[in-house]
Amino acid sequence: MSRHPAVLGAQRLVASVVAGLLLWVSFPPRSLWFLAPVGVALLVVVVRGLGVRAGFVHGYVAGLGFLVPLLPWVGIYVGPLPWLALAAFEALAVGLFGIGVVLVGRRPGAPLWIACAWVTTEALRSRVPLGGFPWGRLAFGQPEGPLLALASIGGAPLLSFAVALMGAGAASLLTRGPRPGVTAVGGLLAVALPVLTAFTLLPSTANPATATSTSVAVIQGNVPRLGLDFNAQRAAVLNNHVAETERLAAAVAAGTAPAPNIVVWPENASDIDPLQDPAAAAAITRAARAIGVPILVGAVLGNPDGTTRNTVLVWDPVTGPGPQVDKRVLVPFGEYLPARALVEKLSPYAARAGSFVPGSGDGTLTMNGVRLAVAICYEVAFDDLVGDSVRAGAQIITVPSNNATFGRSDMTYQQLAMSQVRAVEHGRTVLVAATSGVSAVIDPQGRVIEQTGFFTAATLSDRVVLRSDLTLATRLGGLPELAMVLALALVLLIPPALGLAGRRRQRTPSDLSFTMKSSN
């Protein structure tokens, strides 16, 4: 690099953008998971040794390079402003990571603390504001990588930690610390240890010999058109799912398809409230009777006060509607509108935001003797929601989704990757049912057994494993993430405190006497 300050600063900014771009291309639909630690390493090399302000700037620039190309699906049908505003806000977390690198980058064991800093910033942006936005966590770019098995021990936080640790370890090998030999050994350990640990876990992620199985069918009925107005033809969407279920029933009767025990429809399969509309209820009942088993139906239900609920409910072929789960975490500016009066003045699209209210509970229901976790679309990104459901006894995780408003974007594959991580994290089969694609069946090892294409009517029929054992990650819940956050806090707080105590001990009695006299 050039020694001229202005040129060196420009080179650092370019390197920061490249670091962010490397993180972006490590995410699905590309299978370049190995570039994530490279991106972290480059950013750490750029930031280490700078001041706090410069660390934030370079981290923020890297965050823009990462999140701007990761999130364009946000603005597909509403213009670039929401997309760019969201990416700019979320990039603040990467800026905070840059500050973290500056503060802990020269401490003993720096790769560990740098990795904790990354997890801490992910934890922050997964919670604030408005419930957080967990998209773009390093863990969710690793479903095809060798580290995936770590999710069964510490969930998504440990997987993100491992990726960041490898990157920070590689950075320490590229920069000379105060003790080069010690730094090199620590860097090598940080790079190699996550991979070695993951490979030792692979046998433990296999299905236990006591696991049972059941037959499932995932229905993708497709939508009549793309965009925000797809649900203007709500009856057509419902009829598409009825028709696809009836086709499956005909194939079962003909002996060309296995009879399912569980049938899953996607989110918004019936945007017509079937509890209030007799025609919609009759259509769903007809489909359930054709296939002969209950159907898990995604529906929009109205409330007396004019609000709505995004609901998944069991529809029995004989008794009709049964147990239901309401979506617990809603999409801000989509399913509900914060500060509605103000935002509607700023954007013509704001009036299209829904008036949904969140549900409660553990997100589980029982269907044909099987306990199901229901993570409706966006909810699969949140650790605690899925974990609560599995700890409540869920044997299968279902992810009913409606991605029709995001076209053929990367969003669907990013969400599919989250489902793969959840499968390994909790040792459960995951069934992704999408209105227009991509629907999928994922085994407890995170492998996609079968999936559909975009914008086509299709059915996935498989026999899947039922598991009731709990992985260590499920048992620990949020403790690994909390431990990393606390470790970073201690590293940041304890050395200054020790330094202050040391300075106090070094003061002599004469110093104290002089201080007392001066004060008088």
CB-count exposure of residue 510 (10 Å: 0-12, 13-18, 19+): exposed
Q: In what order do the strands lie in the sheet with 396-401?
A: 364-367, 370-374, 396-401, 429-434, 440-442, 448-451
**Measured CA distances, 296 to 313, 316, 344, 369, 442 (Å):** 6, 9, 35, 13, 18
The catalytic residue positions are 267, 327, 377
Say whether 513 sits in a helix, a strand or coil.
helix
**Angle 335-316-429 (CA atoms, 0-180°, nearest 5)?**
65
Instruction: Write out the chain's pLDDT in tens, 520 residues.
Output: 556 778 888 899 999 999 999 999 999 999 899 999 999 999 999 998 899 999 999 999 999 999 999 999 988 877 788 899 999 999 999 999 999 999 999 898 999 999 999 999 999 999 998 899 999 999 999 999 999 999 999 999 999 999 999 999 999 888 765 555 556 666 777 787 787 787 777 777 777 767 799 999 999 999 886 554 444 588 899 999 999 999 999 999 999 999 999 999 999 999 999 999 999 999 999 999 999 999 999 999 999 999 999 999 999 999 999 999 999 999 888 888 876 666 666 666 666 677 899 999 999 999 999 999 999 999 999 999 999 999 999 999 999 999 887 878 899 999 999 999 999 999 999 999 999 989 999 999 999 999 999 999 999 999 999 999 999 999 999 999 999 999 999 999 886 655 555 455 555 444 434 344 444 4
Spell out a b/e string for 118-155, using b for 16 or more CB atoms within 10 Å of the CB, else e. bbbbbbebbeeeebbbbbbbbbbbbbbbbbbbbbbbbb
Q: Residue 300 phi/psi, 5° resolution?
A: -100, 120
Q: How far apart are CA 378 and CA 363, in angstroms?
A: 13
Query: Can you give the C-alpha Rg of the chain in angstroms?
Result: 26
